Each structure stands twice: as structure tokens, then as C-alpha cells.
Amino acid sequence: MRFVRFNGVGAIGFAVQLGALAYLLRAGMPYLPATAIAVELSILNNFLWHERWTWRDRPASGRARLLRLGRFHALNGLVSLGGNLLLTWLLVDSFAMTPIPANVVAVLACGIINYFGADRIVFDAGCGVRRAGAEGGVRGAGRPVKNWRSGPLSAVRARRT
């Protein structure tokens, strides 16, 4: 289900990017700055939707949330921009594909890499949710559990330390 949500957010982000680009171009902005702004709007849109919907079971706040946004930007910059350029060039130059179908292949390939990167790097590391069974052999392994410091007894635990 998470992969379906990820792709739904990606489709919305793609529409945001194209809409913003079209608007900025019509407003007279040169295409390179317009593209950069449109991509950034799409990245921010996707991050917010992924955080609130795709990975809502892995919350973060404050500094952890800012670090997560930084990881999201780094991952998308490396994989989406670099990967799309490299794969499109390779498919057009080496396999004589036309640019549009080559770009579709590149977007699909990069989307799969982005999903696993987001799942394992962006929305997992340092998010404040530990997993049952992380130590191995515990029943219910892999399901999110509350951080041991949270909950109704957290104030009592804090006073003891």
C-alpha cells in the first residue's frame, strides 16, 4: 500500500511541477530558473504529502524533521536529476530510443530507487520511531512502536533519571 501512495504522491508532484513551470513560463521567466523553481515546489509538495500520508506512521518534528527534509532533497537531487539525465542519455545515445520514451523509462527506474531510498534513508533514520524486533527474535518484528520515552509515564521516568 505504501508503494501505491508513493506513486500517487509522485503523480501529484509531477502535475505540480508542470503546472508551476507552465505558469512561470507564461509570466515571462526564463526556462532554467522556472524549471528550478518548479522542481523545488514539486519536491516540497512531495515531502509534505509523503510525511503526512505515505510515511505517516514514522513521525518526526523539530530538528529531526529538518534533517529529514535535507535527506529528501539530497536523495531526490542525486537520483531524480542525475539518474534521469544519465539514463535518458544512455537510452537515446546507445539504444536509439527517442527522448520521450527514454525519459519515461528513466522516471520509472528512478522512481523505484527513490521509493526505497525514501523508505530506508529519508523516513527511517532518526525519525524517533523504533521498531519492535529490531534486536531480533521479538514477536511483531517490523511494526512501529511508540518510543519508550513517550506516553503517560514519561514524566515519572524523567524524574527518576
Return the SS3 of 2: helix
**Residue 154 included in any domain:** no
Q: Do 66 and 53 belong to one domain?
A: no
**Residue 133 included in any domain:** no
Neighbours of 4 (CB within 10 A): 9
Q: Which domain holds residue 101?
A: 60-128
Q: What is the pLDDT of residue 156?
A: 41
* All residues at 6 or more sequence positions from 46 whose CB lies less than 8 Å from its CB, including other chains: 9, 10, 12, 13, 72, 76
Q: What is the pLDDT of residue 126?
A: 53
Tell which residue, 115, 120, 116, 146, has the closest CA to residue 131.
Answer: 146
**Residue 142 included in any domain:** no
**Residue 146 included in any domain:** no
In tens, the pLDDT along 81-137 reads 788 778 888 998 899 988 778 877 888 888 889 899 999 989 884 544 444 444 443
Q: Do 75 and 41 belong to one domain?
A: no
Residue 157 in this model has a pLDDT that exceeds 60? no
Cell of 30: 526564463
Q: Do 24 and 75 belong to one domain?
A: no
Q: Do 45 and 67 belong to one domain?
A: no
Q: What is the pLDDT of residue 124?
A: 80
**Residue 90 included in any domain:** yes
* Number of domains composing the chain: 2
Q: What is the pLDDT of residue 32?
A: 78
Name the more confident of 82 and 57.
57
**Residue 157 included in any domain:** no
Lowest-confidence range among 25-34, 70-79, 138-147? 138-147
